[in-house]
Amino acid sequence: MKATTPEPDLLVQETVRDAAVTRRVGQLRLIAGLMQGAILYFLYRAQQSGAWPANQAALYLPLVLAAIVLPALLISSLGHLERRPLALWLGAAAAVLAMVGMHDAWRNALDHAPVLRPSFLVFPFCIGFFFVAHSLVMAGAHDRRWVAHYATCFESAWKLAIQLLFAGLFLLGVWLVMWMGAALFGLLKLDFLERLLLKSWFSVPLVCVAFSSAMHTTDVRPAIVRGIRSLLLVLMAWILPIAMLLVGGFLASLPFTGLEVLWQTRHATAVLLASCAVLVVLVNAAFQAGDAAGGLARIVRLAARVACFLLTPLAVLGVYALGLRVADYGWTPDRVIAAACLLVALSYAGGYLLAAVRRGGPWLDGLRQVNIAAAFLSLAVSLAMFTPVADPARISVADQVARLARGATPADKFDYGFLRYHGARYGMQALQALAARGAGPQAAAVRIRAADALDERYEGGTAARASAPAAGPPDLRVWPKGAQLPAGFLTQDWMRTWQPYTPPSCMRGLGRRCDAIVLDGDGDGRPDVLVLGEERGDGAALLSERNGKWEVIGRPSTALAGCPRLQQRLRAGQFKLSPTPLRDIEVDGQRIVLVPPEPELPDCAPR
**Res 15 pLDDT > 60:** no
- Banded model confidence at residue 462, pLDDT cuts 50, 70, 90: very low
Mean pLDDT of 564-582: 78
pLDDT at residue 280, rounded to an integer: 96
Pairing of strands 528-533, 540-546: antiparallel
15-24, 143-152, 325-334, 398-407: which has the minimum mean pLDDT?
A: 15-24
Averaged pLDDT for residues 436-462: 78
Query: How far is Cα 193 from Cα 376, in angstroms, rounded to an integer?
Result: 47
CB-based contacts of 407, cutoff 8 Å, min separation 6 = 440, 441, 442
pLDDT band, residue 551 (cuts 50/70/90): confident
104-130 per-position pLDDT tens digit: 999 988 755 566 788 889 999 999 999
Where on the phi/psi map is residue 50: left (φ > 0), alpha (ψ -120 to 50), or beta?
A: left
For residue 7, what pLDDT is reported?
A: 56
Mean pLDDT of 130-136: 97
| pLDDT at residue 37 in the model | 95
Q: For residue 470, is pLDDT > 70?
A: no
The better pLDDT of the pair 590, 63 is held by 63
The tally of CA atoms less than 13 A away on the side-chain side of residue 304 is: 25
Is 310 or 475 the better-scoring residue by pLDDT? 310
Average model confidence (pLDDT) across the chain: 85
Query: What does each C-alpha distance from 247 to 213, 262, 308, 371, 552 come to in angstroms?
Result: 41, 14, 12, 22, 53
Is the per-residue pLDDT at 562 higher than 70?
A: no
User: Over 70: is that where the pLDDT of 12 sits?
Assistant: no
Residues in the chain: 607
What is the spatial distance between Cα 190 and Cα 183, in angstroms, rounded to a whole number?
9
Q: Does the pLDDT of residue 55 top 60, yes or no?
A: yes
pLDDT digits (tens, 9 = 90+) for 33-49: 999 999 999 999 998 88
- Examine the pLDDT at 205 and tell me if it is beyond 60: yes
Q: Is 354 exposed, middle or buried (0-12, 13-18, 19+ CB in 10 A)?
A: middle
CA 233 – CA 285 distance, rounded (Å): 5
Q: Give the integer Cα–Cα distance in Å for 252 and 566.
A: 56
User: Which tens digit of pLDDT belongs to each residue from 258-289?
Assistant: 888 887 777 889 999 999 999 999 999 999 98
Q: What is the pLDDT of residue 157?
A: 94
CB-side neighbour CA atoms (13 Å) of 289: 16
For residue range 314-370, list pLDDT tens digits in order. 999 999 999 998 998 899 999 999 999 999 999 999 999 999 998 877 889 899 999
The percentage of the chain sitting over the pLDDT mark of 70, rounded to a whole number, equals 85
pLDDT at residue number 186? 92
pLDDT in tens, 505-536: 677 655 567 888 888 887 788 888 888 876 65
Q: Please state the separation of Cα 467 from the chain's center in Å.
A: 30
497 or 354: which leads in pLDDT: 354
Q: What is the pLDDT of residues 230-261, one digit of tens each?
A: 899 999 999 999 999 999 999 999 999 888 88
pLDDT at residue 135 greater than cutoff 50: yes
Check pLDDT > 50 for residue 405: yes
Positive or negative CA dihedral for 176, 181, 182, 188? positive
Instruction: Work out the percent of the chain whose per-residue pLDDT is above 90.
Output: 51
At residue 112, the pLDDT reads 53
Q: How far apart are CA 281 and CA 293, in angstroms?
A: 16
Pick the more confident residue, 477 or 19. Answer: 477
User: Would you state the pLDDT for residue 565?
Assistant: 76
Are 144 and 390 within 8 A, CB to CB? no
Residue 536 · residue 556 · CB < 8 Å? no
Mean pLDDT, residues 433-444 taken together: 87
The pLDDT assigned to 134 comes to: 97
Quickly state the pLDDT bin for 438 (edges 50, 70, 90). confident
Triad 570, 502, 493: Cα angle to 5°: 95
